[in-house]
Amino acid sequence: MQLYNTLSAEERAIMIDDAGKQRLTLSFYAYAKIQDPQKFRNDLFVAWNALDALGRIYVANEGINAQMSVPAENFEAFRETLEAYDFMKGIRLNVAVEQDDHSFLKLTIKVRHKIVADGLNDDTFDVTNVGIHLKAKEFNEILDDPNTIVVDFRNHYESEVGHFKGAITPDVETFRESLPIINEQLKDHKDDKNLVMYCTGGIRCEKASAYFKHQGFKNVYQLEGGIINYAKQLKEEGLESKFIGKNFVFDNRLGERITDDIISQCHQCGKPCDNHTNCENDGCHLLFIQCDECKAAMENCCSTECLEIIHMPLVDQVRLRTGKQVGNKVFRKGKSENLKFKHSGELPETALATAQKPADIRQKIKVKKVLLGKAEHYYVKAQVAQFIIENHELNVGDKILISGPTTGDQEIVLDKFIVDGAETQSAKIGDKVTFEVPFRIRLSDKLYKIVN
């Protein structure tokens, strides 16, 4: 029984492209008492792996939190795997506003102490005693009430690119930091104000609303389904958006646009921008905002130091990062002294610019292509590649793409090739085709025909 990934992200990306089928990015959560999280985790992995579902999922005694990518054709079958559990019957699935087939490239399910780390050790705290859920229209209406205080329970790098107008945006890096800060800030308004909260998909607000009710706040509300569901309801009902900018998401897209307003700046040059980048240096991976010009000039790096490091031999790069903790520092403001235009805390509500057509987050060159076959051999001295044709027909003059995890994407036009020892003008399914290539190929490489 397979309980872990056997493919790399690169191999999975190729498989997704080869399949050519639409995938849906979605998220969901549920607070519940799970007696055996490890068994629950293993059962989910087996069921979801069979459906080619991918994503990042956390399970704990207190419930499940999932962000996933599911083939559209398997959507109902996936829902049935959830309905098998009483606490997930009728669960709301937040389908992303913007879709990307590569939003997740692995199925990772981890057992954690809690699905949302809160730093709380209070046995009397009931996480299921939550506040009043508000739909988009109701949320808009309560925001117009002068008796309302609205709080963003996301982190600084999320609220910087987009938030609700008038919201308190705590200058924090984790959810657990925000609870005592907001509690202290609003302690004199437990009875006389509407405490209204929101987050990305609702899971943090679910716990926060229960926490503030536990702290004695009388009028506690939360945005049902978070910003993701809010955006969906805006489109369906034609409502005014009181959210401005982009919604940060925790997958390869790093954001989906809610309004065309850009309210943040490139952290390196100050140009209006709200596209996040992970620093290319594997010893850093700092998450920051970077415009296209700085991305090109800095090669996706956050500093000249990191730029120099990525051009070092790999062995030297590994030596520099040996023993360093990277993953838990990627959001740290303390690592970003070189970023002159980084903002958090009190944030602007006026647009600095208007977004143009969204750029491809992965910055991949998209071409319409059909899969022809796979690599069979590479003759090093002659620099000749051999491929077996498994689909369609290949002709002299065709523009082809050879793609693989190490080879990358290489395009060439075939002016001649050989089948069965003889030069020919076309090759059919089953033929082994050889031709010269100006680069090395690997047996993991695939052969595509580019279609105009």
Full set of structural domains in the chain with CATH: 9-111 (3.30.70.100), 369-450 (2.40.30.10)
Q: Describe the chain by its helix, strand, coil percentages, rounded to 5.
A: 25, 25, 45
DSSP characters for 211-231? Answer: HHHHTT-SEEEEETTHHHHHH
Least confident of 102-111, 202-211, 388-397, 440-449: 440-449
**Eight-state DSSP code of residue 297:** H
**What pLDDT sits at residue 71?**
93
Q: Write out pLDDT tens, residues 208-234.
A: 999 999 999 999 999 999 999 999 999
Gap between the Cα atoms of 414 and 423, Å rounded: 12
**Is the separation of the CB atoms in 181 and 170 below 8 Å?**
yes
Report whether pLDDT(139) > 60: yes
**What pLDDT sits at residue 359?**
47
Q: Going by C-beta distance under 8 Å and a sequence separation of 6 or more, which residues neighbour residue 156?
A: 169, 170, 171, 172, 173, 333, 344, 345
pTM: 0.67
Helix 75-83 vs helix 37-49: crossing angle, to nearest 10 = 160
Side-chain half-sphere CA neighbours of 359 within 13 A: 15
Question: Which pair of structure tokens corresponds to residue 442?
Answer: 């690997």
Report whether pLDDT(368) > 90: no
**What pLDDT sits at residue 362?**
42
Alpha helices in 94-155 (DSSP H): 136-143
For residue 130, the one-letter residue type is V
**Is the separation of the CB atoms in 433 and 387 below 8 Å?**
yes
Percentage of the chain modeled with pLDDT above 70: 92
Report whether pLDDT(2) > 90: no
For the chain, give the mean pLDDT: 87
**Is the separation of the CB atoms in 245 and 227 below 8 Å?**
no
State the pLDDT confidence band at 320, using cuts at 50, 70 and 90: confident
Helix 175-185 vs helix 203-214: crossing angle, to nearest 10 = 40
Among 217, 227, 140, residue whose Cα is nearest residue 184: 217
Least confident of 5-9, 156-160, 360-364: 360-364
Gap between the Cα atoms of 196 and 203, Å rounded: 14
Gap between the Cα atoms of 83 and 15, Å rounded: 28
Among 160, 169, 170, residue whose Cα is nearest residue 246: 160
Question: Which pair of structure tokens corresponds to residue 321?
Answer: 């990062």
Residue 430 burial by Cβ neighbours in a 10 Å radius (0-12, 13-18, 19+): exposed
Side-chain half-sphere CA neighbours of 273 within 13 A: 21
State the pLDDT confidence band at 357, using cuts at 50, 70 and 90: low
Residue 246 burial by Cβ neighbours in a 10 Å radius (0-12, 13-18, 19+): buried
Judging by DSSP bridges, how do beta strands 54-60 and 107-111 pair with one another? parallel
Residues belonging to the active site: 199
Gap between the Cα atoms of 171 and 9, Å rounded: 33
Q: Write out pLDDT tens, residues 72-84.
A: 999 999 999 999 9
Query: Helix, strand or coil for residue 328?
Result: helix
**What pLDDT sits at residue 333?**
54
Side-chain half-sphere CA neighbours of 353 within 13 A: 13
**Is the separation of the CB atoms in 407 and 432 below 8 Å?**
no
Cα torsion angle, 202, 208, 212, 215, sign: positive
